[in-house]
Structure 1
Amino acid sequence: MNQSALIRPDWTPATIALMVLGFVVFWPLGLAMLAYILFGDKLRAFKKDANEGVDRMCAGFKRTNWGQRTHHRTGNVAFDDWRTAELSRLDEERRKLDEMREEFDGYVRELRRAKDQEEFDRFMRERKSGRPGPEAGFESS
């Protein structure tokens, strides 16, 4: 670590002044500065250890193929056949539900488009006929 830095995790006049100022302005700032003075050197090692731990955990996820369907045989042919049939039936049901959801989303989109078109047409009719719209009653001076 660069020991010539003005603010480093050590008891220097600058860090002590910042800690006192932090306590005067807002006590959590002073507490944070105190923690930096006491544990600042350990932050790099803590970050390195935390990153390595997360990397090991993610590597474990990759090894177990989470998110991928892998069906292991149990040794009982009748059960394996039944499970395969049920899973394919469920996949077909999910596909149907997804298609129905897409159809409904299209229907709702079309309803919104028709409503917007109707409101726009009404606005244009009122504008051409010279009738004031709902906002015309609020004139600025």
Structure 2
Amino acid sequence: MATMSTTAPSTQSGGSWFSKTERWLDDKGKGAWIAAMVLGFIFFWPVGLALLFYMIWNKRMFSKSCTSRRMSSTMTTMRPTGNAAFDAYKSDTLRRLEDEQHNFEAFLERLREAKDKSEFDQFMDERAKAAKSED
């Protein structure tokens, strides 16, 4: 009995058929992913179900844009221009923006923790009042 390889064969022009299909669907947008999933359900329901699970697992259903578009804009942002002064300014600005993002995310985390604590304290107070009223 022959065993099947778990990886798809790659071609010279940029990867496996799966990665090519994924890139093509990403270029077309979220609608293409949804259309592929619907067609999968119509023609062979396990394919549609597999696409649905893949889209949810890969967070394609809930993101504003597809991964390849974000990656290409990131790659364009990081590409050097050849002007040393501008590149230094750009890297400094990007570093400051990353710091701001980190600080903002930390701030949001503190807000979530404070809200969680407040809600938990309210729950405990209501529970204590309910226990007192039962006595």
TM-score (norm 2): 0.48
TM-score (norm 1): 0.46
